[in-house]
Amino acid sequence: MSELERMVEGVVAVVRRDGRFLMIQRAEGILAGGAWCFVGGSIEPGEPQHEAVVREFREEVGGTVRAIRKVWEVTRGASLRLHWWLVEMLDEALAPNPAEVQAIRWCTRDEIIALPNVLATNLAFLDAIADDSLHL
């Protein structure tokens, strides 16, 4: 099996409202439990990215979003590629899945950086948007 065949593809939902981003703290007992991050997860085989980001958002926090556009991509090592999507919330009602999410918080960029245990790819994304060249 080649390196590309072993690559895990994931999506990340970027929700921004009034200068704040929606962040979650991952539930204990799952991969990266306790870490703060944007909502996201794995793309299922054959699933388009824009559909995966909508599904993952619904599964993790119970909300409905519309995928607007892909804004960034990062590859971590030879095994993980994340596709970052700007999404629009279509409803305000969120109901976190306790098996995946232990907390939700709206944070400014600086507040995210100050959170304990933020996933490295999330900090890299914040660095990438620091000059607002991605027009979020």
pTM, entire model: 0.93
> What CA–CA distance (Å, rounded) separates 112 from 56?
21
Q: Which of 88, 90, 83, 8 is nearest to 49 (CA)?
A: 83
Q: Which of 107, 101, 124 is nearest to 34 (CA)?
A: 101
Task: State the distance between the two ends of the chain, measured CA to CA, in whole angstroms.
Answer: 38
| CATH C-level class of 3-128 | alpha beta
pLDDT at 3: 46
pLDDT at 5: 58
Task: Return averaged pLDDT per consecutive 10 residues of the chain, 136 residues in all.
Answer: 70 96 97 97 97 98 97 93 98 95 97 97 94 74
> What CA–CA distance (Å, rounded) separates 9 from 7?
6
